[in-house]
Structure 1
Amino acid sequence: MNTDETFDVVVIGGGPAGATAAHELARQGRSVLLLDRAGRIKPCGGAIPPRLIKDFAIPDELLVAKAQCARMIAPSNKHVDIPIDNGFVGMVNRESFDEWLRARAATAGAVRRTGVFEKLSRDADGTSVVHYSARERHQRGEGTPAQVRASVIVGADGAKSQVARQGAVPGVEDTQYVFAYHEIVRAPAQEAQPADYDGTRCDVYYQGRFSPDFYGWVFPHGDTMSIGTGSADKGFSLRGSVQKMREASGLAGCETLRREGAPLPMKPLKRWDNGRDVVLAGDAAGVVAPASGEGIYYAMLGGELAAQAAHELLATGDVRALRLARKRFMKLHGTVFTVLGIMQWFWYVNEKRRERFVKICEDRDVQQLTFESYMNKQLTRKKPMAHVRIFLKDVSHLLGFARV
């Protein structure tokens, strides 16, 4: 095994977080190795807001659909349609989207390799050595052992990150997870479409039969659809739930193209670095939004911030620079994560509260402020009277005064 090869940064994991980190570092002139496993696609609804499209220069051709409306479905099957005024939510297929991000990083100068991360060790001088098994796409069996040296390592290898564990990031063992599962199905032909089918609408089911503590989704992807759910209840059958959802939405007969499942972190880790040379990003850092389950935007922002922190460490030699990734992220979005966490804890607990939650979403003030915050990725501070009205309506629902 050759240990002479050295990179400024080795990024482990080629999803949106890792690919974005590699692209950012390569643009800054750093030598970067992007190491990713072959054939892995994360279960994901694939929704990306306009803020992501703008900030990360995503070309229109990657959008397989443009959602114009979100339908929220209560336990009683009553629903609320929320139009996306003056815009859309982009929908992407993760297989092609993630590959485009990796290719962009390579175009900027990052070295791409396919392999499976094995462990971290250190040379005699204290420099980290990344051990991995080099494998070509879909190759079976043991790969060829390989290793490279790295001044900094970005761990973007998903939930239950092995980089975090090997790199001794404090508190990583305390992380809690939910499990997500979805099926990609072929969209029905026009003559076979169920009643009320709309290929530009995202359907969100707030029903305990589809998830006791989260929600189920049916999202359009152009020629395909993502039908999925998630739960922290280990005894709950996610696959059975998706089958029921397909039946409820009239999509049971659609061809299933693939099935995917993965753990998702429940909240950001308290530390994203080991105080020396490892910094985390994406699911490895725990940046999946509570209540909504949104992760792509936060993963890409986290990758960008991890890259900036790594660049500052390399430029200054000050290991405290690694702390900046989490500090900057939480300054921007910590309040949103807290609010969403409280919302999920309160409203998703039983059918009665789910019913009231969907009822609240009929309100036009709630719709406008929620989507403005989602689309722009910041809490809306305009329209103070709208906030007052929402607060009063929330209180009436909490106390049971509002009619459902």
Structure 2
Amino acid sequence: MRALAEGALPTMDLMDNTFDIIIVGGGPAGATAAYQLGLAGVRVLLLDKAAAFPREKPCGGGLTARLLDRFPYVREFLDAGEVSVNPLSRIHLESPDGTRATYQADSTCLHLIRRWEFDAALFRRAESVCTVRTGVMIRRCIVKPDHVELESSTGELFTAPMIIGADSANSVIARHTGLRDEAAHKLYAIDMMEETTYDRLDVKDRESIYIFLTLKEAFGYGYIFPKTEHLNLGYACKLDWYLTKLRGKGAEFHGEWVDQLKAKGDVTGETNPEGYKAFPIPISGPLEKTYTDRVLLAGDAGGFVNAFTAEGIYYAMTSGSLAADAALTAIRSKRYDARSLSGYQVAWQREIGSDLQHSVDIQSRLFNGSDRIDALVRKSKEDPELLRLILGYSMGMSTYEALRNHMVRSTMPKWVWGKMKAAVGLSR
């Protein structure tokens, strides 16, 4: 392991050529990129603002089968028990009018993990092949003709020929390089959630995932994710709606949401106010550009989140891996200009671009009216194949095209079909 000793804060001045690349952010995107580049022999410096790993990370914490297929080493450390995992194959889906459809899959739909454990496992792998620094908050990023300069909150300077920004939805790198607009309220959702132990808050069915498509005024959904020893539940809504309706009231709203779940009989016990967290999620798809001279963006920093399901880990790791591929090519050729790095955008568009764009379309159409959601869930309750495809698409197990084609072939009443067609953009 190549890590700087605790308390050692060397100034990496403008002439420092120690590192080929700096990666800002040690979450799934950054750790994946660092691990991949480190294994390839690249000199990597990985920076993260957390004081140490494991660190707290609020998140639903669901791993899809496609993530495990793409990153076999994740499956290996799950199987080895390095991270506790609850593999679930049953999903309860509820619409605004209270209609509930239950789907039992033949195989695992989602592997539920705690993010603090999972992220730490990824970080350990990165740490084994590169230099890491924790407790570093980057406050400024300047792209210069021959290097990128980063300044921390304590005034320390870091420089390298190029960087990967994987520093969350509030990315300093994205904003300071002009890749993300400062005014982006309509591009985010807020997830209000808690993760607490079962002795405090329990769920009726620990063998199921619960998804509630219940918010009638704006984009939103609720969820219950049972972990091995903890219950994770939360509610997400658009940031502009949150700022208008819930500013300063998030914890109170969350408590009311838990009370509603208790009244339905889905959960028992009491919410833990200390476990409540709220955090932003980008829900408008990847940024128009995820690269510029000497800079690539990955994970939430680049907007790589499914706008329909809010799934982010798979897209974070995939974008991190593809960013590492592009960075390796740049480092070997010593060509760091935007044109040379543009292949990164081509690569992610090829692998996950269509999926992410469809998710934006579905989110914008489906969450425009609760009647659309009601019609969809009612029909899926009558049509097991439709339910399988809807939830399969949500969990990355079936494609948008398969869902669309089934809707085309189905014998929905005309008025329902019209709503479904509008919801998923089939009129295009």
Normalising by structure 2, report the TM-score. 0.81
Q: 2:8 — aligned with what?
A: none
Q: 2:367 — aligned with what?
A: 348
For the 8 Å contact 1:360–1:394, the answer to whether it is kept is no
How far residue 375 of structure 1 moved from its aligned partner, in angstroms, is 5.1
Equivalents in 1 of 2:413, 2:139: separation in Å? 50
Q: Kindly indicate whether residue 260 of structure 2 is the aligned counterpart of residue 260 of structure 1.
A: no
Counterpart of 1:393 in structure 2: which amino acid? M
Structure 2: any 5+ residue segments left out of the alignment? 1-10, 263-267, 421-428
1:160 to 170, 173, 178: 170
Task: Write out per-residue CA displacement over residues 79-98 of structure 1, whole angstroms, 9 at most, x where no aligned residue.
Answer: 11112222241011111111
Change (3 A) 1:381 1:399: closer
Equivalents in 2 of 1:50, 1:343: separation in Å? 22
Counterpart of 2:197 in structure 1: which amino acid? R
Q: 1:204 — aligned with what?
A: 211
Helix, strand or coil at the partner of 1:297: helix
For the 8 Å contact 1:333–1:378, the answer to whether it is kept is no
Q: 2:106 — aligned with what?
A: 85
Counterpart of 2:28 in structure 1: which amino acid? P
Q: After alignment, is 284-293 or 80-89 more displaced?
A: 80-89
Equivalents in 2 of 1:11, 1:359: separation in Å? 46
For the 8 Å contact 1:11–1:153, the answer to whether it is kept is yes
Counterpart of 2:245 in structure 1: which amino acid? F
Q: 2:379 — aligned with what?
A: 360
1:177 to 167, 175, 188: 188
How far residue 151 of structure 1 moved from its aligned partner, in angstroms, is 1.1
Change (3 A) 1:148 1:378: farther
Q: Kindly indicate whether residue 312 of structure 2 is the aligned counterpart of residue 295 of structure 1.
A: yes
Q: 2:25 — aligned with what?
A: 13
How far residue 286 of structure 1 moved from its aligned partner, in angstroms, is 0.4
Counterpart of 2:258 in structure 1: which amino acid? R
1:76 to 92, 97, 105: 97
How far residue 368 of structure 1 moved from its aligned partner, in angstroms, is 3.0
Change (3 A) 1:343 1:394: farther
Q: 1:132 — aligned with what?
A: 152
Q: 2:5 — aligned with what?
A: none
Q: Kindly indicate whether residue 321 of structure 2 is the aligned counterpart of residue 304 of structure 1.
A: yes
For the 8 Å contact 2:386–2:403, the answer to whether it is kept is no
Helix, strand or coil at the partner of 1:393: coil
Change (3 A) 1:316 1:193: closer
Q: After alignment, is 321-330 or 93-102 more displaced?
A: 321-330
Q: 1:379 — aligned with what?
A: 399
Q: 1:327 — aligned with what?
A: 346
Runs of 4+ in 1 over 6 A off after TM superposition: 380-385
Change (3 A) 1:292 1:46: same
Change (3 A) 1:325 1:223: same
Equivalents in 2 of 1:82, 1:177: separation in Å? 30
Counterpart of 1:313 in structure 2: which amino acid? A
Identical positions, percent: 25
Equivalents in 2 of 1:364, 1:130: separation in Å? 53
For the 8 Å contact 1:287–1:298, the answer to whether it is kept is yes
Change (3 A) 1:200 1:127: same
Helix, strand or coil at the partner of 1:208: coil
Task: Write out per-residue CA displacement over residues 165-194 of structure 1, whole angstroms, 9 at most, x where no aligned residue.
Answer: 22333x5446422222211122247xx856
Q: 2:332 — aligned with what?
A: 315
Q: How does 1:56-135 map to 2 (within 5 A)?
A: 56=71, 57-58=73-74, 59-60=77-78, 61=81, 62-121=83-142, 126-133=146-153
Equivalents in 2 of 1:385, 1:270: separation in Å? 29
Q: After alignment, is 318-327 or 158-167 more displaced?
A: 318-327
Q: After alignment, is 246-255 or 327-336 more displaced?
A: 246-255
Task: Write out per-residue CA displacement over residues 223-275 of structure 1, whole angstroms, 9 at most, x where no aligned residue.
Answer: 1111112212122334333222211222451445522222221221000111x
How far residue 147 of structure 1 moved from its aligned partner, in angstroms, is 1.9
2:220 to 214, 217, 242: 214
Equivalents in 1 of 2:97, 2:404: separation in Å? 33
Helix, strand or coil at the partner of 2:156: strand
1:269 to 273, 287, 312: 287
Between the two proteins, the alignment pairs up a number of residues equal to 382
How far residue 162 of structure 1 moved from its aligned partner, in angstroms, is 0.7
Normalising by structure 1, report the TM-score. 0.85
Counterpart of 1:223 in structure 2: which amino acid? E
Equivalents in 2 of 1:293, 1:149: separation in Å? 34
Equivalents in 1 of 2:407, 2:190: separation in Å? 34
Equivalents in 2 of 1:81, 1:239: separation in Å? 29
Equivalents in 2 of 1:174, 1:254: separation in Å? 34
Q: 1:140 — aligned with what?
A: none
Change (3 A) 1:342 1:364: same
How far residue 380 of structure 1 moved from its aligned partner, in angstroms, is 6.8
Counterpart of 1:212 in structure 2: which amino acid? A
Counterpart of 1:270 in structure 2: which amino acid? E
Change (3 A) 1:177 1:386: closer
Counterpart of 2:237 in structure 1: which amino acid? S
For the 8 Å contact 1:6–1:149, the answer to whether it is kept is no
Q: 1:47 — aligned with what?
A: 62
For the 8 Å contact 1:84–1:371, the answer to whether it is kept is no
Counterpart of 1:150 in structure 2: which amino acid? A
Q: Kindly indicate whether residue 38 of structure 2 is the aligned counterpart of residue 26 of structure 1.
A: yes
Task: Write out per-residue CA displacement over residues 263-312 of structure 1, whole angstroms, 9 at most, x where no aligned residue.
Answer: 221221000111x1010000110011111111110010011111111111
Q: Kindly indicate whether residue 158 of structure 2 is the aligned counterpart of residue 148 of structure 1.
A: yes
Helix, strand or coil at the partner of 1:6: coil
